[in-house]
Structure 1
Amino acid sequence: MSDQPSPTRLTDRKRDAILQAAIGEFRQHGFNGTSMDRVAAAAEVSKRTVYNHFPSKEDLFEAILLLMWERSQSPEEQQYEATQPLRPQLLALLGHKMRLLNDASFIDLSRVAMADMMHTPERARAIATKLAAKEEGLPRWLHAAQQGGRLRPSMDVPYAAQQLQGMVKAFAFWPQLAMGQPPLTPAQQQQVLADAVDMFLGLYAVPAG
């Protein structure tokens, strides 16, 4: 996971310590094997402090997934540039997504989430809905490019966004999650991104001229 500025307020430092400790506990022991007592001990805070920040283990796990998603994002969202070629813009936009998919901690925690989903699918759906709601950058970019006449007017933006991300996840997420394959090398990441973007634009881009 990428480095973040150290929190300055004591309460923020404690919250950050809890999150970091919980990441290790969930990765090592899974959802059911992790307790708030374990997290408190690992974070070197009282259990009351843990509950003050996170009312339940479910809230704590959700906060971790959202934190990891936020850390994968660019500080400045990629904006659609009408005068620039589409391909490098899409590559840059998907590159930020690749950072998260290539994060070993995120993969491990995704396995925890998948295992928990089998027992409590309603909680998994709630987390997935919140993560999906944050995935606004790509649909917004696609819509702007479509409005600018550079992507086909018949394109269904939500479907196309899911389609494009699915091509990337087919190589950079699901094999690692389900089959334990190693993370992609930088060269492999670039190839996956380039091929996905090229296939996507081949289908949806409006021919020049």
Structure 2
Amino acid sequence: MTAPAPRLTDRKRAAILEAAVAEFRQAGYDATSMDRVAASAGVSKRTVYNHFPSKDALFAQILQQLLQRAVASPELAYRPDRPLRPQLLELVQQKLRLLHDEDFIELVRVAIAAIIPSPERAQEMFARMGDKEEGLTVWIRAAAADGRLKTQDPRFASMLLQGMIKGFAFWPQITMGQPVLTAAQRDQVANTATDMFLAHFAAE
């Protein structure tokens, strides 16, 4: 049985989001207007406002969708019956796949340019990003509770590991426009970060 076709309102909403992504990437946050988005989507400005009450709300929805798409992989739960290294390596590789999404990287660049004058907006955006990283903290907490990692602060340990990853696969791309990592570079970062983390935190 075939899936039902999307409703007209759903199709219009999808067209608005697609057009907005293109406009934000091309023109930046400040230069993008709801008029431009409406023209690009082939709908009226009223239709855009019916779906999104403001440009901020529209942009926030785009970021939220990118984050949801980027973390679409299932959560990797801690397994007491498996060696630590392959489990952690798989988690790190999953994180690197998220950061390999060029749409995500480009729109985060736009977002950071938009939020620099607004600390409140910055805190909200990075809080959302932080929520999506909780899976790694949960894994570290479970491994520590099982006596296989030595840390009293799983969140701190998680942030250290994420800092190693983002130092190669996020901040250079965001702040200096460097290309996303190649497969070989991602493999090198994943293996080295995993080994460095376990060298310090793995219980003897």
TM normalised by structure 1 equals: 0.89
Deviation at 1:157, TM superposition (A): 0.9
- Structure-2 separation of matches of 1:7 and 1:82: 45
Q: Partner amino acid for 1:151? A: L
- Structure-2 separation of matches of 1:43 and 1:191: 41
Residue in 2 that maps onto 1:53: 51
Given candidates 168, 171, 185, the residue that maps to 2:168 is: 171
Change (3 A) 1:9 1:91: farther
Deviation at 1:205, TM superposition (A): 0.8
**Residues 80 and 141 in structure 1, CA contact (< 8 A), matched pair in contact too:** yes
Given candidates 166, 183, 186, the residue that maps to 1:186 is: 183
Change (3 A) 1:155 1:7: farther
Q: Partner amino acid for 2:146? A: G
Q: Partner amino acid for 2:101? A: D
Task: Report the count of equivalent residues.
Answer: 202
- Structure-2 separation of matches of 1:179 and 1:27: 16
- Structure-2 separation of matches of 1:168 and 1:96: 11
Q: Partner amino acid for 2:122? A: A
Q: Secondary structure at the match of 1:31?
A: coil
- Structure-2 separation of matches of 1:94 and 1:51: 40
Q: Partner amino acid for 2:123? A: R
What does residue range 148-163 of structure 1 map to in structure 2 within 5 Å? 148-152=146-150, 154-163=151-160
TM normalised by structure 2 equals: 0.91
1:131 to 2:140 alignment = no
- Structure-2 separation of matches of 1:90 and 1:6: 40
Change (3 A) 1:151 1:25: same
Q: What CA deviation, in whole Å up to 9, does each residue of 1:154-207 have, x standing for no partner?
A: 331111111111100101111111112121110100110111111001111112
Deviation at 1:7, TM superposition (A): 7.6
**Residues 72 and 96 in structure 1, CA contact (< 8 A), matched pair in contact too:** no
- Structure-1 separation of matches of 2:198 and 2:122: 33
Q: Partner amino acid for 1:99? A: R
Change (3 A) 1:48 1:6: farther
Aligned CA-pair RMSD? 1.9
**Residues 68 and 100 in structure 1, CA contact (< 8 A), matched pair in contact too:** no
Residue in 2 that maps onto 1:28: 26
**Residues 27 and 108 in structure 1, CA contact (< 8 A), matched pair in contact too:** yes
Structure 2 alignment gaps of length 5 or more: none
Q: Partner amino acid for 2:169? A: A
